[in-house]
Amino acid sequence: MVVSLQRISLTRYFLIDLRSLEEYNAINIEFHVTFFEAERIYTFNLHQIMMAEEIPDSEIDELERKSNKRRILEKDKSQLSTVETVFDDKTRLILFGLINKGVIDSVEGAISTGKEANVYFCKGKRPTVCKIYRVDSPAFKKMKIYVEGDHRFKKFRQSRHGFIKEWAKKEFKNLKKLRKVGVPVPEPYDLERNVLLMEFLNRDDTPLPKLKDAEVVNPAKLYKEIMDSVKKMVREAKLIHGDLSPFNILFDEVEQRYYIIDVSQSVLDSHPQAELFLIRDLMNLNDFFAGFGLEIIEIKDLYRWITGMPGDEGKILLAKNYKIE
């Protein structure tokens, strides 16, 4: 059996970790390490790795030196570059385990990168992406405001690893809950620690664009449809997205269909800042659709229609300048 783990730096500490995993000793792993100059393929038998046989230190040193030198991966060179900082030891082993179980065949290039997580395309039986949440996320402090009052996070306030694990679990559960009530979101497949596997939203194997970059044929119809989804989120799923904007909506230009993404920060309607987050989401959407020259609905009327409750004028004013510190 040969499986490939692509574009993940093969370093000595990774090999040392693998030596302790006896269940993998019969598998040949084909590591693809991509450099700017050329692509070289290194194939090692894991039995040899664990026995530390037939792999000269000089070869490992050379591979490690080049992988450290060329950590920047490119995809559509003019548009996307990222530094691979999400692949800590535990994450590498999780990916390896998913490959060994046949859940995915390989991890390919980055689809998107961010302060909270990176998203990668995965080959396998079905089109899949893996979202890897950064344990070293620079947005760690800002993320905490979204878990106020959530008992699951109380004991993880000071633990980054524990916090990120629960954060990933939160998105997995939110996606399931939203799909259940009919909100268009990617289907979640599996979750291992800080690695979330979900549906690859694409058109002809190309990732769907964000709504902000997409061609919309009927903006008035789309405005109504997205607001209907927001209403479903609030009334049926009891969730507020918390960061809804054209940046967090993918759009299929052929079918003129949308998908709401990035729901890890979504909060329950009982959250102390839920009303403020909802108003801010509505403002983001109104600002975008106003750019099409549409006659948009005022926030207070929109809020009442979505929640069935009158909007707080003070909260509406506050949301205009609200920033998470």
Q: What is the pLDDT of residue 161?
A: 81
Model confidence, pTM: 0.74
Type of residue numbered 194: N
Q: What is the pLDDT of residue 149?
A: 67
Residue of 17, 136, 252, 262 marked active site: 262
Q: How far apart, in whole angstroms, are the C-alpha atoms of residue 300 and residue 303?
A: 5
Ranges of each domain in the chain: 203-320
Provide mean pLDDT across the span 198-225.
97
Strands 2-6 and 28-34: parallel
Q: How far apart, in whole angstroms, are the C-alpha atoms of residue 286 and residue 83?
A: 34
Using one digit for the tens of pLDDT, what is the confidence trace for 234-263? 999 999 999 999 999 999 999 999 999 999
Using one digit for the tens of pLDDT, what is the confidence trace for 311-323? 888 888 888 877 6
Using one digit for the tens of pLDDT, what is the confidence trace for 169-198? 999 999 999 999 999 999 999 999 999 999
Using one digit for the tens of pLDDT, what is the confidence trace for 103-144? 999 998 899 988 889 999 999 989 899 999 988 776 677 787
Q: What is the mean pLDDT of the chain?
A: 78
More confident residue, 27 or 87: 87
More confident residue, 18 or 324: 324
Question: CB of 91 within 8 A of CB of 195?
Answer: yes
Inter-CA distances, 220 with 72, 129, 153, 287, Å: 41, 31, 40, 13
Classify residue 43 as exposed, middle or buried by CB count within 10 Å of its CB (0-12, 13-18, 19+).
exposed
Question: CB of 144 within 8 A of CB of 158?
Answer: no
Residue of 105, 204, 243, 287 marked active site: 243
Asked if the model's pLDDT at residue 35 lies above 80, the reply is no
Using one digit for the tens of pLDDT, what is the confidence trace for 267-292? 999 998 899 999 999 999 999 999 99
More confident residue, 176 or 92: 176
Question: CB of 166 within 8 A of CB of 152?
Answer: yes
pLDDT band, residue 233 (cuts 50/70/90): very high
pLDDT band, residue 219 (cuts 50/70/90): very high
More confident residue, 194 or 15: 194
Annotated active-site residue 262? The verdict is yes
Annotated active-site residue 243? The verdict is yes
Q: Residue with structure tokens 């450099």?
A: 35
**What percentage of the chain's residues is helix, strand, coil (to nearest 5)?**
40, 25, 35
pLDDT band, residue 7 (cuts 50/70/90): very low
Report the percentage of the chain scoring pLDDT > 70: 69
Q: How far apart, in whole angstroms, are the C-alpha atoms of residue 282 and residue 302?
A: 8
Q: What is the pLDDT of residue 66?
A: 54
Two tokens at 182? Answer: 């009919």
Provide mean pLDDT across the span 222-236.
98
Q: Which of 186, 6, 161, 30 is nearest to 84 (CA)?
A: 6
Report the percentage of the chain scoring pLDDT > 90: 52
Q: Class of the 203-320 domain?
A: mainly alpha
Q: Which of 279, 206, 215 is nearest to 246 (CA)?
A: 215
Asked if the model's pLDDT at residue 6 lies above 60, the reply is no
More confident residue, 237 or 68: 237
